[in-house]
Amino acid sequence: MKKETTKTVRAFVIELAIYAVLVITYFFLVLHLLGQWLYQLEIHHRYFYAGLAILLIVGQAVLLESLTTFLIRLIRGRSE
């Protein structure tokens, strides 16, 4: 493998590992803090729950991508 390809694969594996840890942490945090409330919301206010679930998914994607990018830049010591 070329040196540049090795660097790219290494960066991808590091980013994937960081992202996996963040997603698992986010899942258990939301489950612990909002689980019961979301369950009650699903039972009593289905449409509001659906909208909130979509917002949580989009928020998760934006937040975790920003955090992963920040951590990768911090690890590398330079901007991409």
Per-residue pLDDT of the chain (80 residues; tens, 9 = 90+): 687 788 778 878 888 888 888 889 988 988 899 889 989 999 999 999 999 999 989 998 898 888 878 877 877 765 44
Query: What per-residue confidence (pLDDT) applies to 75?
Result: 73
Query: What per-residue confidence (pLDDT) applies to 78?
Result: 57
CA–CA dist 50, 35 (Å, integer): 14
Query: What per-residue confidence (pLDDT) applies to 1?
Result: 61
Query: What per-residue confidence (pLDDT) applies to 80?
Result: 47
Query: What per-residue confidence (pLDDT) applies to 45?
Result: 93
Half-sphere exposure of 53 (CA within 13 A, CB side): 13
